[in-house]
């Protein structure tokens, strides 16, 4: 679990993305928020984006962001019986999967959305694309690994929302 910060703010002033990656299947979830998000709101964001889909987690690995080291955060997860593991300072290898996911997500944002005002609306589609792509390790999508099925897709993005360099790769619907 990690925050990607310093993104250009969209209409709702969200300029941070909370990135959460499952350790088993590597399925990722992206939640937009503001730099000023509190620990309590981070916990609520986690509840509405992760626990409702995956249940109570056995363990959470995160960096040493003050929101993840606070007393509220620690006590909240103690009540659920969830173990909290914090990565060592200057050694993010413990949570390397999240760091790799951050890089991929940032690339997807750059490729699909040149207008910051539209970027936030694209997050659900970016998350979908990330989780629907075949994994290099298993050749299965993260959706398939997590739920046992691949979602049906008949999605074609409007050409005006694509970055200029990605327009050449868009396929026309027949």
What's the pLDDT tens digit per position in 79-120?
Answer: 999 999 888 776 656 567 788 888 888 888 888 777 776 777
DSSP state of 82: -
Note the pLDDT tens digit of each residue in 36-63. Answer: 999 999 999 998 999 998 999 899 988 8
Q: Rg of the chain over CA atoms, in angstroms?
A: 17
- CA–CA distance, 65 with 48 (Å, rounded to integer): 20
Helix (H, G, I), strand (E, B) or coil at 134: strand
- CATH level 2 (architecture), domain 2-169: 2-Layer Sandwich (3.30)
Q: Is the pLDDT of residue 161 over 60?
A: no
Domain boundaries, the chain: 2-169
Q: Is the pLDDT of residue 162 over 70?
A: no
Q: Is the pLDDT of residue 163 over 80?
A: no
Residue 91 has what pLDDT?
Answer: 63
Residue 30: Cβ-neighbour burial (10 angstroms; 0-12, 13-18, 19+): buried
Q: Is the pTM of this model over 0.75?
A: yes
Q: What does residue 18 show for φ and ψ, rounded to 5 degrees?
A: -85, 120
Q: What does residue 43 show for φ and ψ, rounded to 5 degrees?
A: -65, -40
Q: Which of 1-15, 91-105, 125-139 has the lowest mean pLDDT?
A: 91-105
Q: Is the pLDDT of residue 32 over 50?
A: yes
Task: Give the orientation angle of helix 71-80 with respect to helix 39-46, to 10 degrees.
Answer: 30
Residue 90 has what pLDDT?
Answer: 66
pLDDT-derived band at 23 (thresholds 50, 70, 90) equals confident
């Amino acid at each position: 679990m990690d925050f990607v910060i310093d993104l250009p703010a969209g209409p709702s002033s969200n300029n941070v993305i909370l990135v959460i990656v499952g350790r088993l299947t590597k399925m990722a979830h992206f939640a937009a928020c503001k730099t000023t998000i509190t620990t309590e709101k981070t916990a609520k964001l986690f509840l509405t984006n992760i626990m409702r889909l995956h249940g109570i987690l056995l363990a959470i690995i995160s960096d040493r962001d003050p929101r993840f080291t606070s007393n509220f955060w620690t006590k909240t997860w103690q009540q659920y019986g969830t173990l909290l593991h914090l990565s060592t300072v200057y050694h993010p290898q413990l949570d390397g999967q999240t760091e790799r996911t951050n890089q991929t997500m940032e690339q997807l944002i750059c490729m699909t959305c040149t207008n910051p005002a539209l970027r936030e609306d694209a997050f659900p589609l970016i998350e979908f694309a990330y989780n629907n792509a075949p994994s290099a390790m298993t050749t299965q999508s993260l959706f398939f690994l997590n739920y046992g099925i691949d979602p049906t897709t008949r999605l074609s993005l409007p050409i005006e929302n694509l970055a200029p360099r990605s327009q050449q790769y868009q396929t026309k619907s027949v």
